[in-house]
Structure 1
Amino acid sequence: MSLTVPFKQVDVFTEVPFRGNPVAVINFLDTDESEVTQKQLQAIANWTNLSETTFLFKPSNNKCDYKLRIFTPKNELPFAGHPTIGSCKAFLEFTKNTTATSLVQECGVGAIPLTINEGLISFKAALFDFEGISDEVITGYEQSLGLKFIATPALLHTGPEWVVALVEDAETCFNANPNFTVLTQQTKQNNHTGIILAGPKKNAPIRNSYEMRAFPTAENIDEDPVCGSGSVALARYLQELYKFEETTNITISQGGRLGRDGHIVASIIKETDGNTSYHVAGHSITVIDGKITL
């Protein structure tokens, strides 16, 4: 059976085409999910060869606006940040919805609330905890990255399994030159997706503005240009490290080493019930609009 469906490629965490992180979005909103196979979806993701390709389906949860399935070229993910924002942008365009201020996405980790404000799309991350890692593993990562951490790293469960580590400043982060062969071996051996490396910017308020890099080497990707789930992991790590008592916005720049210029706002929000929630916001722009045939 031949099936032709709408397709978009959206550049995320940027307002300038080709400077953010692209995601391919395929519209199956008018197709029953049972009509396509896991093998077909994986083949499409392998063909686009982007870090993630997503598929929009009708939700199975009536409290959600759509269901999102997220694939790397090799496997399906329960959640990822930049595909969530880019797919929301595509959903609004596919459905010609110009007035929505909030939506709910169904995905592998559950229901993800989204807000839309003058083109800025934000998602509320599911609450993921963190855990410590051994000194031996930390030392191994320092050696493969060729630098020293300024605080004890931690493992953050944000869908991907990110190890978050801080260095002295943004320049140290930007200039890091990992041994990717060794780092890939280490992350796979430790069952970690990869490393989120960050350093504070000297000329910005300390603890509030960071250069960040993401090395998802266990996925056979050396560096992700701009990473939403990584920014959640960084915000959660910073909250644990610095114990912010008020709502705090963390501004993150990423992608410069790859010729990109991504910008993320990760918010640590103190709720009225005393809980803390984590939100990631960014702009996005559609750069390809067409159709794909299965």
Structure 2
Amino acid sequence: MNCKVVQVDAFTTIAGQGNPAGVVFEGDKYTTEEMQNIAKKVGFNETVFICKSENKAATLKLRYFTPGHETPLCGHATIGAIFALYSGAEDQQLQIETGAGILPTVYEKKGQRITMNQAKPTFIDFQGDPLALCQSLGIKMTDLHPTLPIQYGNTGSWTLILPVVNAMILDKMNPKPSMFPDILTEMPKSSIHPFSIVSEQEATFTARHFSSPFSGT
């Protein structure tokens, strides 16, 4: 099976930096199994397949695959797909069909600026063992933020949002993803997204992101 995959590095103007995504045009040529095999071979966190949408309200359909499974939505792969399709074109107002719904996305020719809406956020409290969670990341209970909650969040895909005291805690994390499913009992396939606050007034944060072992990355 021959398949052309374009690498797009999102969130950067320098090749080889940012967040890479594989982009496949004419995604309808491939079965779901073939898409999964292509994503596994490519090996990026996500590979996106550009497809035609049967929904009249949508401009096109995107399907996203980690090396291990299909996922409803991926932000940087959406940006990568839109850049690959419309780079240099006139401004575009798009409605993108995803596994998380039809989401508005805008391409602006000036500055090649791309913005997208994600799904409405939902949250579920973490009811698991915080000590085991800390041990899976190589940190201590005292490294957790003293007042902010640990919650699962979803704007398209589930991740565990873990507040810690400061960025130095993020730097020293040494995750063991194989431990995640047994700890994340409410959402065993969830990723983990630890963060610290840089400025509450400016609403700025710094974070890391650890994929689920089911994703195969």
- Tell me what 1:267 maps to: none
| 2:202 maps to 1:210 | no
Cα 1:113–1:157 change in 2 (3 A) is same
For 1:37-58, what per-residue CA distance to the aligned partner results, in whole angstroms no more than 9, with x for missing partners?
A: 1121111111111111111112
TM-score (norm: length of structure 2): 0.85
Q: Which amino acid in structure 2 is aligned with residue 9 of structure 1?
A: Q
Cα 1:6–1:65 change in 2 (3 A) is farther
- Tell me what 1:61 maps to: 55
- Tell me what 1:109 maps to: 100
Cα 1:130–1:188 change in 2 (3 A) is closer
For 1:50-99, what per-residue CA distance to the aligned partner results, in whole angstroms no more than 9, with x for missing partners?
A: 11111111221222221111111121111111111111111214xxx611
| 2:172 maps to 1:175 | yes
Distance in 1 between residues matched to 2:20 and 2:102, nearest whole Å: 23
Cα 1:179–1:75 change in 2 (3 A) is closer
- Tell me what 1:26 maps to: 24
- Tell me what 2:124 maps to: 131
- Tell me what 1:290 maps to: none
- Tell me what 2:90 maps to: 99
Distance in 1 between residues matched to 2:121 and 2:215, nearest whole Å: 24
TM-score (norm: length of structure 1): 0.64
For 1:203-231, what per-residue CA distance to the aligned partner results, in whole angstroms no more than 9, with x for missing partners?
A: x5656222110011333557xxxxxxxxx
Which structure 1 segments of 5+ residues have no match? 223-294
| 2:118 maps to 1:120 | no
Query: Which of residues 1, 7, 10 is equivalent to 2:8?
Result: 10
Distance in 2 between residues matched to 1:182 and 1:5, nearest whole Å: 35
Which structure 2 segments of 5+ residues have no match? none
- Tell me what 2:75 maps to: 81
For 1:98-140, what per-residue CA distance to the aligned partner results, in whole angstroms no more than 9, with x for missing partners?
A: 1124211111121111122322211111113101121x43332
Q: Which amino acid in structure 2 is aligned with residue 62 of structure 1?
A: K
Cα 1:196–1:149 change in 2 (3 A) is same
Distance in 2 between residues matched to 1:62 and 1:209, nearest whole Å: 38
Distance in 2 between residues matched to 1:207 and 1:219, nearest whole Å: 35
Query: Which of residues 155, 163, 176 is equivalent to 1:166?
Result: 163
- State the superposition RMSD in angstroms: 2.4
Distance in 1 between residues matched to 2:125 and 2:6, nearest whole Å: 40
Distance in 1 between residues matched to 2:66 and 2:37, nearest whole Å: 10
- Tell me what 2:33 maps to: 39
For 1:226-275, what per-residue CA distance to the aligned partner results, in whole angstroms no more than 9, with x for missing partners?
A: xxxxxxxxxxxxxxxxxxxxxxxxxxxxxxxxxxxxxxxxxxxxxxxxxx
Query: Which of residues 109, 133, 138 is equivalent to 1:141?
Result: 133
Say which structure, 1 or 2, has more relative contact order (CA 8 Å, 6+ apart).
Answer: 1
Identity %: 25
Cα 1:55–1:179 change in 2 (3 A) is closer
Structure showing the higher strand proportion among its residues? 1
